[in-house]
């Protein structure tokens, strides 16, 4: 009898009714797809009916199990990805924001391709499948559209640690230095200046890219699924669980709510036999073997020729055999101790006892495989999370980092020999492996258990943290959301009828008190165009859109001020409106300025990032004072804001004088006028009249007279231009 009871309990715990699962993973990168495969295969083995939309099918056509349907979008998606992302990718960290933007743009193009694929279109149109669960790729936010279509529980799976929007979605704690973004370049022992730099690049530049991309993705979803589809920040509330392909130790034990599950190392497979010829090569090496591979998304052939030459020269001078993964048939000239191939069985190869070192780009999957094999590392980061991982290598003592731009023969050889000859690196790899493996379940067992948990309970909303219900998007998006939700029974009205390009909605009885601090928050479209370029000059091709947005916001603010005059601080609103009118008059309606502005494309690109640093400092000063009072004409507030404005001007001027040769003196004059006008638009008041700038915190913040003379002596300006423009420059500054 007891045996029957035990058997019934085991059966009730170990089995679950077969579920219908739709899995959508659109990133065309094998290193991403191998993370998702094991879970799909195990769910199929457990008897679930799985429809798998992927760029890398597991099985050849017609050979998949009966309960697995694979929809292959490989060819077109990889063509897009390689053409626009892999080949365009810079290997320097300075190009991170650009690469991130390109990656999100490519994901949108791949998603549109996916949706228009015949098999997927049928699933969407006919709701074919009646699914019980969605498995969606976490970094591809567009896939959340399927949660709107099928109204079933959702598990997001990341092949990486979480992006900022993933953590915001689940209400997880974030901190720029305690729990930095996995896109951050430096993590530990930062100076104050380095902290400021990292904060700026990752929480200003990267977040700006994410916001811009989200807006574009929302427009794409409306195009593909109609205007009724909610925005992404609302769709994110449909997510029940988030799987992260990382061990908590690797992200400094960042606290997460219970609906975040760590599955780091899920892609690892049981070892297989190494091909005979390769095994002989490894066995016959008396000194040992170094393996070098830069993964699937970095093309070694695209590296700068001088760096390739450095690598081949160093390899020829080493006593070890070298295995080097190359991406095409045109391998570089190399010494006899180097074997080059387009493919190696990396995971199995690393497990051979003669492997002394793994030279890697620092991908997460490669890192897991090196840890499993107990092999120390030299990392040359080139994409995405690889700089973050390189920092972790050094923090945990499992390897050393080299930057491709700093690579030379001396540093490369010394780093290789140090990691091989210092046994502590291998010992630390083994120590870290033991820590990461010491769990009650394997990553795959954990992922399967939690997947079936969601199926059993028809969701996991009860695991969501309270913070997950908070909207963490930028303020304009939040304002729009509040207006929509204020009273859905009331018909929206148009606040400004002077520009029909932008769609403006608000509840008829919107609460004016909510908007007393920002009179311009009336339309997400225009506000986004304005705010997204405010921290750096818009490119010449975007200046007209930028100006249309400012004009529209000015009209909207005037209407808002009129409607809310009795319940808002009208003086504050009127000062905001004056500031916007000032920008319109002195930039957007200044034809001569706009003509000169068209010459600035390359210069603006060079100036963009340091410019944003100047604006961030200025904006923080303004926000600090605004939180004290909305009465900007109060003497103390007036004084501090004027100091901040002058400091912003000096910062941008110093930036322009230290920029590369893409920026001439003439360009500096034009861009400086832009910075002055925009700062006056933010703090509209007479700052230079009877101001004692020498009493500003930190001393007189104004540009020195020498700097201004240099600005005004731009040789390229004609005398007529100087007459027209020079007087305005003089008026913009009070000389020290």
Q: Which pair of structure tokens corresponds to residue 112?
A: 């549109």
Dist CA 471 CA 169 (whole Å): 8
Provide the pairing of β-strand 289-293 with 260-262: unpaired
Q: Which of 707, 724, 593, 726 is nearest to 646 (CA)?
A: 707
- Whether 10 has a pLDDT exceeding 50, the answer reads no
Please give the residue that has the higher pLDDT: either 629 or 301. Answer: 301
- Whether 129 has a pLDDT exceeding 80, the answer reads no
Measuring CA to CA, how many Å separate 736 from each of 15, 35, 136, 693?
80, 61, 60, 9
The pLDDT value given to residue 115: 93
What would the pLDDT profile of 304-339 be if each residue is shown by its tens digit?
Answer: 889 999 999 999 999 999 999 998 888 899 999 999
Q: How many residues does the chain have?
A: 736
The pLDDT value given to residue 628: 57
Contact 412, 310 (CB under 8 A): yes
Stretch (H or E) spanning 91: none
Residues 6+ apart with CB under 8 A from 462: none
Dist CA 647 CA 627 (whole Å): 20
Residues paired with residue 50 on neighbouring β-strands, in sequence order: 21, 68
Please give the residue that has the higher pLDDT: either 82 or 274. Answer: 274
The pLDDT value given to residue 562: 56
Residues 6+ apart with CB under 8 A from 170: 239, 242, 256, 257, 259, 260, 464, 465, 468
Number of neighbours of residue 31 by Cβ within 10 angstroms: 17
Mean pLDDT of the chain: 77
- Whether 687 has a pLDDT exceeding 50, the answer reads yes
Percent of the chain predicted with pLDDT > 70: 73
Indicate the pTM of the whole model. 0.64
Q: 């030379």: which residue's tokens?
A: 408
Measuring CA to CA, how many Å separate 402 from each of 267, 378, 423, 517?
27, 7, 19, 48
The pLDDT value given to residue 720: 36
The structural domains of the chain, with segments of one domain joined by +, span: 14-262, 276-437, 475-732
Domain range 276-437, CATH architecture: 3-Layer(aba) Sandwich (3.40)
The pLDDT value given to residue 289: 97
Q: Which pair of structure tokens corresponds to residue 71?
A: 């929809």
Give the CATH number of domain 14-262.
3.40.50
Please give the residue that has the higher pLDDT: either 33 or 561. Answer: 33
Q: 């690196």: which residue's tokens?
A: 425
Q: 């199995």: which residue's tokens?
A: 348
The pLDDT value given to residue 260: 95
Dist CA 136 CA 41 (whole Å): 16
Please give the residue that has the higher pLDDT: either 625 or 136. Answer: 136
- Whether 658 has a pLDDT exceeding 80, the answer reads no
Least confident of 210-214, 432-436, 506-510, 699-703: 506-510
Of 1-10, 78-87, 221-230, 705-714, highest mean pLDDT: 221-230
What confidence tier does 632 reach under pLDDT thresholds 50, 70, 90? very low
What would the pLDDT profile of 457-511 be if each residue is shown by its tens digit?
Answer: 999 988 988 777 554 333 333 333 333 333 232 222 233 333 333 333 333 233 4
Measuring CA to CA, how many Å separate 412 from each of 248, 289, 301, 339, 478?
31, 16, 19, 19, 50
> In three state form, how does the secondary structure of 706-725 look?
HHHHHHHCCCCCCHHHHHHH
Least confident of 28-37, 438-447, 705-714: 705-714
């Amino acid at each position: 009898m007891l045996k029957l009871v035990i058997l019934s309990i085991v059966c009730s715990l170990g089995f679950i009714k077969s579920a219908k699962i739709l899995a959508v993973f659109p990133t065309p990168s094998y290193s991403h797809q191998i993370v998702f495969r094991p879970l799909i295969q195990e769910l199929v083995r457990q008897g679930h009916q799985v429809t798998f939309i992927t760029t890398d099918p597991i099985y050849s056509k017609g050979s998949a199990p009966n309960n697995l349907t694979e929809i292959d979008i490989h060819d077109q998606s990889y063509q897009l990805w390689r053409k626009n992302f892999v080949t365009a990718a810079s290997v320097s960290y300075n190009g991170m924001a650009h690469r991130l933007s390109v990656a999100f743009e490519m994901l949108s193009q791949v998603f549109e391709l996916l949706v228009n694929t015949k098999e997927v279109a049928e699933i969407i149109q006919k709701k074919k499948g009646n699914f019980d669960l969605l498995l969606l790729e976490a970094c591809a936010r567009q896939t959340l559209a399927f949660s709107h279509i099928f109204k079933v529980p959702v598990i997001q799976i990341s092949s990486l640690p979480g992006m900022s929007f993933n953590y915001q979605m689940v209400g997880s704690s974030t901190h720029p230095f305690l729990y930095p973004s996995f896109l951050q370049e430096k993590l530990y022992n930062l100076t104050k200046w380095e902290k400021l730099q990292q904060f700026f690049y990752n929480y200003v530049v990267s977040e700006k890219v994410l916001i811009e991309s989200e807006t574009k993705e929302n427009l794409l979803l409306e195009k593909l699924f109609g205007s009724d589809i909610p925005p992404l920040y609302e769709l994110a509330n449909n997510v029940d669980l988030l799987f992260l392909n990382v061990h908590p130790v690797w992200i400094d034990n960042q606290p997460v709510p219970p609906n975040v599950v760590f599955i780091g190392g899920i892609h690892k497979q049981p070892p297989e036999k190494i091909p005979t010829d390769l095994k002989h090569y490894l066995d016959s090496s008396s000194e040992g073997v170094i393996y070098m591979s830069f993964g699937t998304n970095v093309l070694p052939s695209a590296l700068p020729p001088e760096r390739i030459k450095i690598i081949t020269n160093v390899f020829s001078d080493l006593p070890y055999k070298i295995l080097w993964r190359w991406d095409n048939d045109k391998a570089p000239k190399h010494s006899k101790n180097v074997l080059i191939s387009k493919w190696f069985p990396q995971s199995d190869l690393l497990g051979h006892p003669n492997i002394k070192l793994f030279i890697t780009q620092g991908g997460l999957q490669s890192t897991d495989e090196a840890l499993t094999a107990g092999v120390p590392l030299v990392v040359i980061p080139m994409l995405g999370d690889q700089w973050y991982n390189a920092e972790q290598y050094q923090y945990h003592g499992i390897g050393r980092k080299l930057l491709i731009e700093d690579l030379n023969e001396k540093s490369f050889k010394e780093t290789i020999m140090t990691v091989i000859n210092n046994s502590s690196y291998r010992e630390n790899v083994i120590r870290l492996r033991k820590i990461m493996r010491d769990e009650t379940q394997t990553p795959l067992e954990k992922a399967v258990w939690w997947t079936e948990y969601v199926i059993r309970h028809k969701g996991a909303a009860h695991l969501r943290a309270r913070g997950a219900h908070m909207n963490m998007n930028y303020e304009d998006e939040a304002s729009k959301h509040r207006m929509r939700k204020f009273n859905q029974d009331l018909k929206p009205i148009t606040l400004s009828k002077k520009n029909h390009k932008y769609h403006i909605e608000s509840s008829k009885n919107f609460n004016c008190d909510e908007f007393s601090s920002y009179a311009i928050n009336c339309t997400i479209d225009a506000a986004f165009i304005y705010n997204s370029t405010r921290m750096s000059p818009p490119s010449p091709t975007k200046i007209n859109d930028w100006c249309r947005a400012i004009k529209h916001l000015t009209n909207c603010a005037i209407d808002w001020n009129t409607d809310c005059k009795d319940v808002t601080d009208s003086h504050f609103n009127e000062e905001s409106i004056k500031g916007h009118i000032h920008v319109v008059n002195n930039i957007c309606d200044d034809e001569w300025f706009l003509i000169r502005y068209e010459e600035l494309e390359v210069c603006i690109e060079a100036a963009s990032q340091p410019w944003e640093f100047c604006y961030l400092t200025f904006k923080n000063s303004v926000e600090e004072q605004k939180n004290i009072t909305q009465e900007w004409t109060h003497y103390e507030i007036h004084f501090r804001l004027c100091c901040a404005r002058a400091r912003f001007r000096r910062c941008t001027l110093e930036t322009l004088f230290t920029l590369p040769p893409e920026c001439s003196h003439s360009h500096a004059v034009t861009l400086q006028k832009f910075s002055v006008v925009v700062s006056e638009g933010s703090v509209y008041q007479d700052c230079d009249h009877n101001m004692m700038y020498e009493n500003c915190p930190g001393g007189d913040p104004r540009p020195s007279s020498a700097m201004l003379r240099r600005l005004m002596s731009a040789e390229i300006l004609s005398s007529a231009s100087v007459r027209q423009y020079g007087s305005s420059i003089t008026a913009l500054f009070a000389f020290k």
